[in-house]
Structure 1
């Protein structure tokens, strides 16, 4: 083993696994170093919810012994990884940020079991947004998570602790969950990569003590990896993904030159941050220079799809959230969500009108008018609309002969803590892949330039645009990403385009590297 001091925080999971298997690195040494890294960031970020350090060190030592004995090794043998707090790890609770859900899990989640079978060492469970509902990460059990790029900002939600840990180099690979952007938003805010696979692609056990995820909402749910390289995202998928015989992640001979890419610059509702639009155009030009065909793509009926999405997500009027919460303290954001879902129809109608008059038309039309309890016939109508939209979307991809889409990951960059309250509507970009059950990857490729932080025009008649312009004034230097959306179970094409773009951008000076927990 080399006596040269190695900074393991900069090393990816694939390199770690290869080095451990070859005897160049020690799992115990790597795990010890990353545990110290997690401890270093904890006081400023609160990224870790449940440290599993003692067990991890024992597992790492055992992993080194297995190497010395010449045993057959898994693809993640001895590699320290983290998992989101809501995912069961034997012997630890999965609280979802709720004070009374303290019963330790008696077995690992199906995904965690696959990680262990591959030889991974679970070092910690990472912090979340309470109920996994929202684009920040804050709860009364573990506290509020800060973004290591700028501690005054959120790392996103609900997998915010995971995004922060990976971004700072405390973990080379993490597993999050995503029902409306909860993997991809933290990846975008924290300058890392994340993949939301097709629902069901990665097996997951049923949650314990949770009642607010209705079956149709659950059908939009995915577990998926976060990492600092596409290679590591791909490695995680090889370990975790099911149905690989039917839908293989590796297709020998498949070339990125065969892909036809549809580019979406706008959902027609809210424009993305100027830096994101610039990055999309640069990515499009780079792909075309590589010989890949890029064509414009218009989202079919985005407003109607978003209305149905929020209608489905709030169909029980917040009763499941209340049942899950019980007498637990609630995060401020959750209290607001519960209050809005409980509006009687007459009050909701009035609030919708007032919001429209005050310049918040998207919030009024697309969200507030749709939330609240539904009758069973209304709920069934929404599920039928979703199926119709899925079929329509695939037909549109077919008619334009598009394999994957290139679009914004989110409407803006990481806002200050509490700043998501100012964003009345975050655009269709992040929620449509969930609604349509499509795989989607977020790929961080650049940072905001000073002039781009001031480029959004603030229209006083449009409160959403004014709020975004205000949030973005101090966004220079923050990471930005693009999103790649694929067809159902075609994660191989999403990963192929992610790898292609990463190769084209990773040598640029503005490519996001390790965050530094700056104040």
Structure 2
């Protein structure tokens, strides 16, 4: 048995890592040591990791190796090193939400983290985020700038930017993020990853009953469609505390391995947010992807989605989510100035206002889903603008930060309100050297079609698995 070297790690995604550890070609300890070595080698230039869990990760790896040697059946993620966005509780680490508001380590894992560990994954670190995930740029007074592995002068997007940077640089094969307005899809697009926001209620928010009310969900950021599907098959499923519950039982990994059949695909570059104009690079990416899909045999046509305005549903839930999380921290006074301003500006979000916002959510969802009377999948840009230079939030309060965020969420946030599954699919790098992503949106509860279609595109147009300079 030989050990997995640091230079081997980037070539092993989730599926390959599980193959190596379950066949005995590599020990879990060797895989975890290699991940920790890459974090040490690369995180200094990226600032993706918030809290490193090196000793516990090695102990977990040794336990998994001993169990396998004793004849225990390995789990579906046996030996896969993972990172966790720091809004999800990891036992023994502080759940920071990207700031200094908490100081006591969590007594237990969040349910999705527990499921990952039960499946054999090894948590090696938590990852950076803007405080409470409020912005699509991974910057905060506490954590500083997190940088894009493709160009360290640029943002990796957010709010799951630390996870995106860790996966795109090969520190780990996969990591957990969260999406309340695009926060899985935006950093996936910026860093060249596959990121699926699942159907509302697909992934448990336990021990909480909801994440940003109807907007938020947890999910993985991965280098391949199959890797994402394998993780989703572990973490999916509600608990009795969850407020929302998705339908459908089709295994995601099976969907990622099968052909999608001939689909009706509508494409549009029209943004949901008025006044935002998409970068020509993103318009071209949608048009190129539409041609590729047509060449693959699909019925592809330009459509007008007739988007509803999600503002009355989205904004109260955004402010309500921030206020709920801020109220729950141990040290409110330690929150950054911009967060405390956001908290004050959201004081109008009473329980009655939230009830009206949730009622508006249902109306927006009904209108947004009318496009699926005519198509099976909607193709759009993932974001409007190219990844911005780091420092986007410097000197900005809540209002100016929200205006800066508009191009990032212009295509994404509607589908948090509507609840539909939506994925950012890599298109490869553009002329500026940075990745481009397009968004695929599916019908309610129809992640399997998105996964099958995304895997077909991945096979026809492979994308780089790692940012340049991180392959060794």
**Over residues 39-74 of structure 1, what are the superposed CA-to-partner deviations in whole Å (9 max), with x where a residue is unaligned?**
112221221111111111122122223333332111
**Over residues 234-279 of structure 1, what are the superposed CA-to-partner deviations in whole Å (9 max), with x where a residue is unaligned?**
1111111127994313568963223222212222632322222111
1:264 corresponds to 2:268? yes
Task: Provide the secondary structure at the position in 2 that maps to 1:218.
Answer: coil
Residues 26-425 of structure 1 aligned to structure 2 (within 5 Å): 26-206=27-207, 217-242=212-237, 246-250=248-252, 255-267=259-271, 269=274, 270-302=276-308, 304-314=309-319, 320=324, 323=327, 326-331=331-336, 333-334=338-339, 337-338=342-343, 341=345, 373-374=348-349, 378-398=353-373, 400=374, 402-419=375-392, 421=401, 423=404, 425=406
**Over residues 279-299 of structure 1, what are the superposed CA-to-partner deviations in whole Å (9 max), with x where a residue is unaligned?**
111111111111011122323
Return closer, same or farther for 1:379/1:111 CA change in 2, 3 Å cut-off: closer
User: Does the 8 Å CA contact 2:52/2:124 hold for their aligned counterparts?
Assistant: yes
Which one has a bigger Cα radius of gyration? Answer: 1
Task: Provide the secondary structure at the position in 1 that maps to 2:212.
Answer: helix
Instruction: Give the Cα separation in 1 of the matches to 2:467 and 2:439.
Output: 20
Displacement of 1:195 after TM fit?
1.4
User: Does the 8 Å CA contact 2:214/2:358 hold for their aligned counterparts?
Assistant: no
Question: Partner residue of 1:444?
Answer: 426
Question: Partner residue of 2:469?
Answer: 516
Instruction: Give the Cα separation in 2 of the matches to 1:448 and 1:307.
Output: 35
Instruction: Give the Cα separation in 1 of the matches to 2:405 and 2:418.
Output: 22
> RMSD between aligned alpha carbons?
2.8
Task: Provide the secondary structure at the position in 2 that maps to 1:177.
Answer: strand
**Over residues 170-227 of structure 1, what are the superposed CA-to-partner deviations in whole Å (9 max), with x where a residue is unaligned?**
01011111111111111111111111111221122235xxxxxx96932221110111
Return closer, same or farther for 1:484/1:24 CA change in 2, 3 Å cut-off: same
Displacement of 1:386 after TM fit?
1.8
Instruction: Give the Cα separation in 2 of the matches to 1:7 and 1:319.
Output: 44
TM-score, normalised via structure 1 length: 0.80
Task: Provide the secondary structure at the position in 2 that maps to 1:382.
Answer: helix
TM-score, normalised via structure 2 length: 0.87
Structure 1: segments with no counterpart, 5+ residues: 208-213, 343-371, 450-475
Displacement of 1:17 after TM fit?
0.2
Instruction: Give the Cα separation in 2 of the matches to 1:494 and 1:79.
Output: 24
State the aligned residue count.
Answer: 449
Return closer, same or farther for 1:238/1:189 CA change in 2, 3 Å cut-off: same
Instruction: Give the Cα separation in 2 of the matches to 1:191 and 1:493.
Output: 21
